[in-house]
């Protein structure tokens, strides 16, 4: 079963006047992981798509998505898949990929139908592509790790880069995830924006009762969302993205836009936030 929800782009001046439920309706992605279903959120931010596939005891295939008006979803797109569950299998382009928890699969433009099976919980990201790059499975052993922050500022974290220029080539999709160390809560300090790229987040590895306070909005007009495990956030290019969580958590970040320069960002110091 395939379900697609469309999210239209929101101007920052509109977001200033939104109340809580409006903010959650436009920027928070819930219910993406349901057994026996593929559930996608199609956004008008750089035509980025995020979603989930949970095959359970069956097999799920992602092929035709009416919103793209192409014969197959990946005809003019690339895709990044993260397995946030138990071991599972993805088949695409005549290849079979066995994915453990935390592994990332990149599928290049023109890979055709994508099938999911096994006990995996597959987080799907996708954006338009203008060039076909080779598909590649990047395991935890293959990623590039960067450690940042410090315990005294409550933001010691490890960034794992998978679909990233220092690991492999892609068209415009960049993806990795960040894990907070025990006792650290702040995930991105100082905060930043990158006007040339949108970004999307999936928070996972959290207890059922835990929440992350995700900060968003313009630097001088910040807003917030309380986010639960396996919920996502759509982050426009004009919005900051920082957060603080209760207990241990990880967030997957994925970006699409004008370039693949991970360091292309404009920092906003805490003293300048409002």
Tell me, what DSSP letter sits at residue 23?
H
Q: How far apart are CA 120 and CA 223, in angstroms?
A: 34
Tell which residue, 4, 140, 129, 17, has the closest CA to residue 75: 129
Is 194 labelled as part of a ligand binding site?
A: yes
Is 214 labelled as part of a ligand binding site?
A: no
Tell which residue, 267, 237, 196, has the closest CA to residue 12: 237
Is 164 labelled as part of a ligand binding site?
A: no
Q: How far is CA 127 from CA 75, 90, 94, 182, 264, in A?
A: 11, 19, 21, 33, 19
Give the other-Cβ count within 10 Å of 159's Cβ.
18
Tell which residue, 118, 117, 190, has the closest CA to residue 153: 190
Tokens representing 188? 């991105």
Residue 176 near residue 253 (C-beta atoms within 8 A): yes
Is 8 labelled as part of a ligand binding site?
A: no
Q: How far apart are CA 204 and CA 118, in angstroms?
A: 20
Strand 242-245's sheet: what is its strand order?
Answer: 221-227, 212-218, 242-245
Annotated binding site for Zn(2+): 192, 194, 199, 241
Annotated binding site: 192, 194, 199, 241
């Amino acid at each position: 079963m395939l379900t697609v929800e469309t999210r239209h782009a929101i101007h920052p001046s509109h977001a200033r006047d939104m109340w809580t439920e409006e903010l959650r309706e436009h920027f928070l992605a819930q219910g993406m992981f349901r057994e026996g279903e593929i559930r996608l959120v199609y956004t008008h931010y750089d035509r980025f798509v995020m979603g989930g596939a949970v095959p359970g005891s069956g097999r799920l295939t992602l092929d035709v998505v009416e919103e793209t008006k192409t014969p197959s979803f990946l005809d003019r797109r690339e895709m990044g898949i993260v397995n946030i569950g138990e071991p599972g299998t993805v088949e695409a382009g005549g290849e079979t990929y066995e994915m453990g928890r935390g592994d990332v699969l990149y599928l290049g433009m023109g890979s055709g139908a994508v099938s999911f099976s096994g006990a995996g919980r597959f987080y799907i990201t996708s954006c338009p592509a203008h060039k076909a790059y080779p598909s590649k499975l990047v395991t935890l052993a293959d990623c590039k790790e960067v450690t940042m922050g410090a315990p005294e500022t409550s933001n010691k974290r490890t960034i794992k880069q998978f679909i990233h220029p220092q690991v492999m080539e892609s068209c415009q999709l960049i993806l990795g995830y960040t894990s907070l160390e025990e006792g650290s809560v702040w995930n991105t300090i100082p905060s930043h924006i990158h006007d040339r790229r949108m970004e999307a987040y999936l928070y996972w590895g959290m207890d059922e009762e835990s929440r992350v306070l995700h900060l968003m909005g313009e630097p001088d007009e910040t807003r917030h969302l309380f986010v639960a495990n396996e919920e996502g956030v759509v982050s426009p290019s004009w919005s900051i993205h920082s957060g603080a969580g209760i207990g241990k958590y990880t967030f997957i970040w994925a970006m699409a836009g004008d370039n693949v320069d991970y360091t292309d960002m404009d920092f906003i110091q805490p003293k300048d936030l409002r």
